[in-house]
Amino acid sequence: MEQKQFMNIKTEETIGIIGLGYVGLPLLINFGKSYKVLGFDSDEKKVEVINSGKSNINHIPSSDIQNLISNGPIATSDFEKIKLVDAIIICVPTPITVHREPDLSYVINVVNQIIPFLKSGQLISLESTTYPGTTEEVIGKKVQDAGHEIGKDIFITYSPEREDPGSKFKLQDIPKVIGGITNECLAKGSKLYSSVFNDVVQVNSVKVAELSKLLENIHRAVNLGMINEFKIICDAMSVDPFEVINAAATKPFGFVPYYPGPGWGGHCIPVDPFYLSWKAKEYGHSSRFIELAGELNLSTQSWILSKISESLNIRNLSISQSKILVLGIAYKPDVDDARESPALNIFSELYKNGADVDYSDPYFSELPRTRKFNIEKKGIDLTPSNISSYDAVILLTNHTKYDYDLIYQNANLIIDTRGVYDVDNIKVIRA
């Protein structure tokens, strides 16, 4: 397909992006190449940083933002300015509760904030991952209750985000799925996204679009659960799972390689499958594969902790007696994103069990705080003397910035969850 070029001259339309995180900020930048843009976020500090021309996300260069602010601020926390935009794209978090139920509070709060300022002709597009029915049952209903007619004066679509932090794919090259509440909504939304994305995939309803996003991530979640279970079985057989996977991957059809690690993480995989399993119960169906994948993820982290304990015991050490260095806090390599990171869970368990535990991650100078994790600690530098001072080094995130030879030469024990090192079961142990 021939690649489209962004327009050099901006249109008179203004696109509003609500939520300026890992999804919203890249969208703001990409729409800003063709349109006037205005970003909305309740975090005043984030708004201030963006308006100063700086990026608060590692893989997004500040120069991308500086290109947009020549005519003034591009971010605000004032939702009354919604009346200045022609399209509203919602990119706020949709987490799950401790009971693995959908938490739509961010979406609901945003819709309640914008409804008083809606004007005729505006498009509202939800990109946050959610259960099928949300766009119509939450956004559509609230808009209708406010006296608007969907498809006539307000147009509503669902177009799932496919942002992959640190990915080699450019945002505009990733096909954009979209569904509309009415045909008129779909047409208006498709026209907007087609001006920025090279391939827009129209589907027959918002539910199809909502489900497509869940299926993408359930597919990955189930396979990651399977491959981590496979890793544990291989370990019992004293077989290297990475060698097995690489051998299987030589088959040119019918096999997709997945690689084990310390468990899944990020903003999608640990959350999205449970949106469908929760909704399935409404229709009287269980989702056994999805629930099992979630249990396998947690059991993988428990298994890694047991491997750490076992490896230390062989050296006549307990976790509580040990000085441990964790390598990697991010949920995947080469990003500054620790959302739902298994590394944080493992770090926390080591800390709770009395280990003298530190970490090193080139993307985090101090441990991030989350709703489930609140330990105050700064990262350490990977010097020979620092590395050698620890009883064990636990490799949880395989950042390319690490000097793996330096680590190997100076570590007393390496417990490798990512398949970076050859295993000798003396200095290097696979987990």
Give the SS3 label for residue 174.
coil
Give the mean pLDDT of 42-55. 93
Task: Scan for tokens 């050099």, then name that residue.
Answer: 8
Question: Buried b vs exposed e over 194-230: b needs ≥16 C-beta within 10 Å?
Answer: ebbbbebebbebbbebbbbbbebbbebbbebbbbbbe
Strand partners, 17: 39, 89
**CA 331/CA 291 separation, integer angstroms:** 21
> Measured at the alpha carbon of residue 417, what is the angle toward residues 416 and 418, in degrees to the nearest 5?
95
Name every residue whose Cβ is closer than 8 Å to that of residue 392 and which is 6 or more positions away in sequence.
Answer: 308, 311, 312, 322, 324, 325, 411, 412, 413, 414, 415
Task: Compute and round to an integer the Cα radius of gyration of the chain.
Answer: 23
The continuous run of DSSP H or E covering 157 comes out as strand 154-158
Torsion of CA 105, 110, 112, 117, to 10 degrees: 180
Give the SS3 label for residue 397.
coil
**CA 110/CA 114 separation, integer angstroms:** 6
The residue from 91, 185, 234, 268 that is catalytic is 268
Q: Over 80: is that where the pLDDT of 267 sits?
A: no
Higher pLDDT, 276 or 247: 247
**CA 155/CA 273 separation, integer angstroms:** 28
111 and 94 Cβ atoms separated by less than 8 Å: no
Sorting pLDDT into bands at 50, 70 and 90, what band is 274? confident
Residue 10's pLDDT is 54
Which pLDDT tens digit goes with each residue over 117-151? 999 999 999 999 999 999 999 999 999 999 999 99
Sorting pLDDT into bands at 50, 70 and 90, what band is 268? low
The neighbour count for residue 379, using CB atoms within 10 Å, is: 17
Q: For residue 322, what are its two tokens?
A: 């040990």
Give the SS3 label for residue 290.
helix
Helix 206-236 crosses helix 272-282 at what angle (to 10 degrees)?
120
Name every residue whose Cβ is closer than 8 Å to that of residue 143 and which is 6 or more positions away in sequence.
Answer: 111, 115, 118, 124, 150, 154, 156
**CA 417/CA 262 separation, integer angstroms:** 6
Give the mean pLDDT of 87-116. 91
The continuous run of DSSP H or E covering 233 comes out as helix 206-236
275 and 308 Cβ atoms separated by less than 8 Å: no
**CA 311/CA 423 separation, integer angstroms:** 13
234 a catalytic residue: no
Strand partners, 200: 176
Name every residue whose Cβ is closer than 8 Å to that of residue 194 and which is 6 or more positions away in sequence.
Answer: 200
**CA 258/CA 175 separation, integer angstroms:** 23
Percentage of the chain modeled with pLDDT above 90? 73
Q: How far is CA 82 from the centre of its chain?
A: 27
**CA 128/CA 118 separation, integer angstroms:** 20
Q: How far is CA 319 from the centre of its chain?
A: 31
**CA 51/CA 21 separation, integer angstroms:** 14
132 and 207 Cβ atoms separated by less than 8 Å: yes
Residue 269's pLDDT is 67
**CA 158/CA 90 separation, integer angstroms:** 10
User: What homologous superfamily is domain 241-430 in, according to CATH?
Assistant: NAD(P)-binding Rossmann-like Domain (3.40.50.720)
**Same fold for the pair 14-204 and 241-430:** yes
Sorting pLDDT into bands at 50, 70 and 90, what band is 296? confident
Q: Over 60: is that where the pLDDT of 4 sits?
A: no
**CA 330/CA 399 separation, integer angstroms:** 9
323 and 356 Cβ atoms separated by less than 8 Å: yes
Q: Over 70: is that where the pLDDT of 156 sits?
A: yes
Which pLDDT tens digit goes with each residue over 391-404? 999 999 999 999 99
50 and 74 Cβ atoms separated by less than 8 Å: yes
Q: Over 50: is that where the pLDDT of 83 sits?
A: yes
Pick the CATH number of 14-204 from 3.40.50.720, 3.40.50.450, 3.40.50.970, 2.40.30.30: 3.40.50.720
Residue extents of the structural domains in the chain: 14-204, 241-430
pTM for this one? Answer: 0.88
Residue 125's pLDDT is 98
Of the chain, the end-to-end C-alpha distance in Å amounts to 43
Which pLDDT tens digit goes with each residue over 157-215? 999 999 877 777 888 999 999 999 999 999 999 999 999 999 999 999 999 999 999 99
